[in-house]
């Protein structure tokens, strides 16, 4: 198993690859990532598994197709 070599992620943490993909979709305007204070959150880590308030996400809102 991979986890024996790299360890387990903490609960509610997404992988760095998934986080980069979601941040890219947000940067391109396809989605909006929101963190509501009264909702359960997922943590989207950045480089070296660091995170900030932008990485605390409870909702992903589809912004629609881009032309």
* Model confidence pLDDT, tens digit, residues 34-51: 999 899 999 998 877 677
- Residues in Cβ contact with 13 at an 8 Å cutoff, skipping those fewer than 6 apart: 42, 43, 45
Is the residue at 30 inside a domain?
yes
Six-digit token string for 20: 């980069």
Distance between first and last Cα of the chain? 42
Residue 57 placed within a domain: yes
pLDDT in tens, 56-65: 999 999 998 8
Structural domains counted in the chain: 1
Indicate whether 29 belongs to any domain: yes
Distance separating alpha carbons of residues 15 and 23, to the nearest angstrom? 12
Q: How far apart are CA 9 and CA 6, in angstroms?
A: 9
Q: What is the pLDDT of residues 17-29, one digit of tens each?
A: 899 999 999 999 9
| Residue ranges making up the domain that contains 37 | 3-62
What pTM was computed for the model?
0.75
Pairwise CA distance, residues 31 & 28, whole Å: 8
Residue 21 lies in a domain: yes
């Amino acid at each position: 198993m991979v986890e024996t070599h790299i360890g387990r992620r903490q609960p509610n943490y997404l992988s760095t690859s998934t986080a980069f993909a979601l941040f890219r979709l947000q940067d391109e305007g396809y989605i909006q990532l929101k963190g509501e204070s009264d909702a359960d959150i997922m943590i989207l880590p950045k480089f070296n598994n660091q995170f900030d308030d932008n990485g605390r996400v409870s909702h992903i809102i589809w912004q629609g197709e881009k032309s």
